[in-house]
Amino acid sequence: MWWCELTAGEFRQRLAQGSDAERAYWLAALMREANTRDVWLFASVSEIKRLWPLAYRHLGRSKGLWEFLLKLPAPSGDSRAA
């Protein structure tokens, strides 16, 4: 991530440890900032789907891209879901 100094190993630890909310934050940062093909080096589709409701709010302008790529709707609490 461009805004913090983490090695790839440290970033993997952030994705693997902590609460679901913390992991979702880092997952969304990856999804938002990395090239889409590089996301799969750090996360699986099943992990993204599991954390989707928590990660979604952190995706910024990339929400629509990931909804399309993963064929996932906005979580029901999101204002765009209506």
Averaged over 65-81, what is the pLDDT?
A: 83
Q: Give the pLDDT confidence score for residue 20 in this predicted structure.
A: 97
Please state the pTM of the whole predicted model.
Answer: 0.86
- Predicted local confidence at residue 2, as pLDDT: 65
Give the pLDDT of residue 60: 96
Q: What is the structure's pLDDT at 5? A: 87
Q: Which helix (H) or strand (E) holds 16?
A: helix 8-16
**Which pLDDT tens digit goes with each residue over 6-64?**
899 999 999 999 999 999 999 999 999 999 999 999 999 999 999 999 999 999 999 99
Cα 73 to Cα 19, 31, 42, 61, 77: the distances in Å are: 23, 16, 22, 15, 11
3-state SS string over 25-73?
A: HHHHHHHHHCCHHHHCCCCCHHHHHHHHHHHHHHCHHHHHHHHHHHCCC
